Amino acid sequence: MIKLANPIFYPLSVLVGGVVLVVGVRFARVPNVVILPTAALVVTVGAAFLKSKEPNEKKLAKQELQKEVKMLYNAAKNLADKSINLRQEAKHLLTDDSLQIELLAIVEEACDRATELPQKIDQLSRRVQGDNSLLSPTELQQQLLEVQKKLGASSGVARQHFEQLANSLKRNIELAKAGEDTRQAQLVNIYTLIQETGGILQSLQNKLRTSDLSKFEEINELRTLSTELNSYQENMEILVVQ
């Protein structure tokens, strides 16, 4: 069904209506009682037709959301590929003693989570692109509570980033209460976490290659990075799964 539109915003329809009026009056000698309503109808229908061909705000928002989801999936796939490489490398290097085996278990847990991420993002994309998929303040509040639980057990750089995520969720809650669509903001949060996770993963891989694995201190530094990697994965899962 074509919706009516204000002809003022569609000068082409006004022009066509004016041409119809001039031709009708000057050349076809159509009576005013006939040509005036006809010209007005042409202007009105023309404006409505032109409006129907424009991408509306809802359609544009959906297209933008699709772009965000695609970018998010590609980032998750890239992270998963890097995680597979790290898992294989760690399995090859960490074989000597109980400390190394313990570290390997932590690394493998983080890498396994990362390799599952593209599938979870794919599931998320189907949810967020639905017509009734807006996140409610209650859902966002639940996510915030989960992040705050993790925040209490974190420290250092990880704690700083978790605080940033918590602040983002608080802003999204206020937006949701005001009736705003927070889906894109949520996707940005997830994308940021993926990028930060990728940075930690790269640091872990670099240190794994250069560390003296016979030294407790260096094993401990690797364990700290691995634990931090797991924390980021847990935060991502809060945003992706719920």
Does 59 have pLDDT greater than 70? no
Q: And the tokens for 34? A: 């006939």
Contacts of range 166-173, beta carbons closer than 8 Å, 24 or more positions apart? 169/140, 169/143, 169/144, 170/144, 172/135, 172/140, 173/137, 173/140, 173/141, 173/144
Does 195 have pLDDT greater than 80? yes
Q: How many whole angstroms from its chain centre is CA 9? A: 34
Give the ranges where 94-182 is alpha helix by DSSP (H). Answer: 98-128, 137-152, 156-177
What is the average per-residue pLDDT within 181-202? 83
What pTM value is reported for the model? 0.66
**Tens digit of each residue's pLDDT (9 = 90 or more) over 156-165:** 766 777 788 8
What is the average per-residue pLDDT within 104-121? 88
Distance CA 110, CA 102 (A): 13
What pLDDT score was predicted for residue 129?
A: 67
Q: Report percent pLDDT > 70 for the chain.
A: 85
